[in-house]
Amino acid sequence: MKRIKVKTPAKINLTLEVLNKREDGFHNIQSIMQAISLYDYLSFEIQENEGIEIKLDGNSKNIPYDSSNLVHKAAVKFFEKAGISDIKLDIYIEKNIPIAAGLAGGSTNAAGTFYALNKLFNNVLSLSEIDELCASLGSDINFCLKGGCCLCSSRGEKIENLPTYIQKVSLIKPKNLGISAKEAYMNFSKLSNKSNPNNTIKLKNLLLTNSFDKSLLYNSLEKALFPSYEELTKIKENVKGSLMSGSGATFFVLDENINTMLDKSRYEIFENLTTIDTGVKEV
């Protein structure tokens, strides 16, 4: 029996500019993604078995513990690629990252699964093979594995390392509101004005000089979702300097804690977080 435990960080999008729709139904994007110090923890235990058996469990009532979970899908993909067919795998997911929140909670767990299983099986797959598995399962799993700060393009799976500008981060999310990426991008497709200010490249150039400008924070999907969700508009109007992360419904603020007149009983608030220059790590 072998065990490993990993921590998988959430991400925010400092910029997210949606470009054109692709033939495969996805959108090309350019985005600067940044890992932050909010973590899920995944514990893995393997032992010999007749055939493949995967069992998931965890502390959250809001995620499935079956084959629809990205963690389960990642494990299946790993075993197929590595040619492993005789193992029992138990995984416990300690969920701290809100789900359907634009923070890559599911994606970072999948990245942690690839990382942990490769460690348990003595790096049977190369880094390039792990990257291929990440890209085959989701658009931001490659980034979640790497972490830090990256320019992400294509669907989001192509990444270019950037320096991490270390700063404080706070999050605010309406309780009981989750938004799927599919819904956000469908709404975006209906917009008549899809122009972007090219803030991604501007911020990239600043980061390369170890500088930062909060005025460059930008998310194309805000304008796609605000008409449908009054809760999001309220955050934008009442939390100074806030920007929606990914496809929502979480907003982040840099360099300070949340200062708002909103009824805090209706929101999840995470304060005293920071940007980090790492990704998935063994605990």
Q: Would residue 140 show up in a list of annotated catalytic residues for this protein?
A: yes
Per the structure block, which two tokens stand in for 9? 């960080």
Residue in 75, 70, 68 with CA at minimum distance from that of residue 45: 75
pLDDT single digits (tens) 172-210: 999 989 999 999 999 999 998 888 999 999 999 999 999
> Among the options 7, 73, 131, 140, which is catalytic?
140
Across residues 212-228, what is the average pLDDT? 96
**CA separation (Å) from 193 to 25, 41, 224, 261?**
19, 41, 10, 32
Confidence class of residue 20 from pLDDT cuts 50, 70 and 90?
confident
Please measure the distance between the N-terminal and C-terminal CA atoms of the chain and give it in whole angstroms: 18
Q: Distance between alpha carbon 46 and the CA centroid of its chain, in Å?
A: 26
Which backbone phi and psi does 32 adopt, to 5 degrees? -105, 110
Is it the case that residue 16 has pLDDT exceeding 90?
yes
Predicted model pTM:
0.96
Distance CA(37)–CA(88), nearest Å, equals 31
Residue 97: which of 142, 36, 143 has the closest Cα?
36
The tens digit of pLDDT for each residue in 23-78 reads 888 899 999 999 999 999 999 999 999 999 999 999 999 999 999 999 999 999 99
The yes or no reply on domain 1-283 and CATH 3.30.230.10 is yes
Residue with tokens 């729709």: 21
Whether the pLDDT of residue 260 is over 90: the answer is no
Per-residue pLDDT tens for 93-144? Answer: 999 999 999 999 999 999 999 999 999 999 999 999 999 999 999 999 999 9
Q: Domain segments of the chain: what residues?
A: 1-283
- Mapped onto helix, strand or coil, the DSSP state of residue 227 is coil
> Residue 125's pLDDT is what?
98
Structure tokens at 216: 């460059």
Torsions phi, psi for 119 (to 5 deg): -65, -45
Q: 11, 73, 173, 204: which is the annotated catalytic residue?
A: 11
For 282, the token pair is 């063994």
What pLDDT is attached to residue 5? 98
